[in-house]
A and B are shown apart, each in its own frame.
Chain A
Amino acid sequence: MRFDVLVEVRLRPGIADPQGATIERALPALGFTGVSGVSVGKAFRLSIEAESAVDAEERAADLARRLLANPVIEDSWVTLLDPEPAP
């Protein structure tokens, strides 16, 4: 069965995020006040052939840790998207 997975990679807390800070400082120029905590990361969408949803999630988490994120500076989150209906 195929499972669509969203992997998000973000900088770990305490790691400087100059892109996020720059975006946050730019927002008031467009009138967006009161916006804080802007952080910049990456999003990956994958489709994984797996036995079960749990299996798909585990494999996605593993590949995220081992390739998509650099654990020295980044954390990763896996979200299972709605699976395709079984044929």
Chain B
Amino acid sequence: MTARVAIVVYPGSNCEHDAAEAVAALGGSADLVWHGATDLAGYDAVVLPGGFAHGDYLRPGAIARFSPVTSAVAAFARSGGPVVGICNGFQVLTEAGLLPGALQKNRGLAFLCTTVGLRVESTRSVLTSRAIEGQVLRIPINHFEGNYTCSIATLDELRDGDRVVLRYEVNPNGSVDDIAGICNEEGNVVGLMPHPERAIDDLLGSTDGRVLWAALLAGAPARR
């Protein structure tokens, strides 16, 4: 059965079409869902794409927390639904309290737009279940505030719970413990700074993102 994926569009999101393209390329069906939506029933997975939700006013993700759809995303996540936040979507998930920690300005204050090596550290998340632990994926990053920060207690929880999903091979932004992506305790909510939707075709320079999208699409309909 074709997985139905909701791609949430906040005012200022700008990677929603790329995400929809990735879903379609892997055989899923994607709908763009405006941030005023209050119900995500009928969807198998939800993606919060990159961009600048609400202009990143105050802090990235700080205002997106108040969009009606964010409550619907939280309810969807609580029911076990797969939720993936990419870049700005990761920032929204931390501000909304669906993932711990925060994303700070990059060490070095440079906006980073480059392709990096990511090591798959855990395959227990909905995004990495089809990858192999230790596998290195070449995927682009494109961010100014991707420096993952959290308390020591939170870091211990993430490590002990096998919740660090992806690490940078070479830390580009100062993230604590080289963290590029994490998941919640259940593994159904994942946030990552890199953009797997930009690594789905040879024309884009890498197809390494496909294994992540394939996992999301394969895992999603299993909920039914």
Instruction: List A residues at the B interface (Cβ < 8 Å).
Output: 15-16, 18-19, 22, 67-68, 70, 72-73
Which residues of chain A are near B174, meaning CB under 8 Å? 16, 18
Instruction: List B residues at the A interface (Cβ < 8 Å).
Output: 58-59, 62, 94-95, 100-102, 104-109, 147, 149-151, 174
Closest to B174 in A: A16
Cα A18 to Cα B105 in complex, Å, equals: 8
What are 5 A-B contacts defined by CB distance under 8 Å?
Answer: A18-B107, A70-B95, A70-B102, A72-B101, A73-B149
Contact B149 A22 (CB under 8 A): no
Identify the 4 closest CB pairs spanning chains A and B, nearest first: A72-B102, A73-B102, A18-B109, A70-B102
Closest to B105 in A: A18
* Cβ contact of A16, chosen from B58, B62, B100, B107, cutoff 8 A: B107
Contact A16 B109 (CB under 8 A): no
Cα A19 to Cα B106 in complex, Å, equals: 10
Which residues of chain B are near A16, meaning CB under 8 Å? 104, 107, 147, 149, 174
Which residues of chain B are near A15, meaning CB under 8 Å? 104, 149
Q: How far is the CB of B55 from chain A (nearest CB, A)?
A: 15
Closest to A73 in B: B102
Residue in A16, A19, A70 with the greatest tally of chain B CB atoms within 10 Å: A70
Cα A16 to Cα B126 in complex, Å, equals: 32
